[in-house]
Amino acid sequence: MPGPVALRRRQYYGFPGNHFWPIIQKLFAKDDRPLSYPEKIRLLKENRIALWDVIASCRRVGASDSAIHCVTPNRIPQLLKKHQGIRTIFVNGKTAERLFRLHFGEKVNLPVICLPSTSPAHASMSLREKLRRWEIIKVASLTKSTHQGIIVL
């Protein structure tokens, strides 16, 4: 679930300290120049990567995942039924994985791979190590046919 800064900006991973966009740019962009938000979204689309939240809504004071409560999950099974080309699900961190498995565990029959959280709160892992582990999404995007894709939750 986006934190207060991302919600204000109306951008996924809109908090400047989050490593999501730097990782995506390193993996998929052709250059290192700063990208606008629409360019970042285009980069995902060009690589057949969907971006969605496990949670449709919740209550949370601040940005901490531990403060999330009163969760309403997104309709992930319906999304996957509508977009049957999605072949792999990557979750961004342990909280996303826990919530995904809680709400959709037996309802989704696709590989679910948990990646290290890109949140600055996950400071025990360096950006370099996160990038190394996130390289699996580049491999997945390259090995899928033009009609298949992946989703990051």
- CA distances (Å), 56 to each of 52, 66, 81, 86, in order? 9, 17, 18, 20
Query: By the 8 A CB rule, do 8 and 113 touch?
Result: no
Please give the average per-residue pLDDT across 27-39, as a whole number.
91
> Domain spanning 4-152: which CATH class is it, in words?
alpha beta
Higher pLDDT, 92 or 141: 92
> 121 forms bridges with which residues in the sheet?
none
Measured CA to CA in angstroms, residue 86 lies from 16, 44, 71, 76, 94 at distances of: 29, 14, 25, 11, 21
Strands 69-73 and 86-92: unpaired
Count of positions (residues) in the chain? 153
Two tokens, residue 73: 């999950």
Domain ranges of the chain: 4-152
- CA dist 148 and 83 (Å) reads 9
Q: Phi, psi at residue 25, to the nearest 5°?
A: -65, -45
What are the residues whose beta carbons fall under 8 Å from the beta carbon of 128, sequence distance 6 or more? none
Three-state SS at 51: strand
DSSP run (H or E) holding 69: strand 69-73
Q: Say what the pLDDT of residue 144 is.
A: 56
Q: What is the pLDDT of residue 65?
A: 64
User: What's the pLDDT tens digit per position in 41-92?
Assistant: 999 999 989 988 888 876 766 656 665 767 788 899 999 999 988 989 999 9
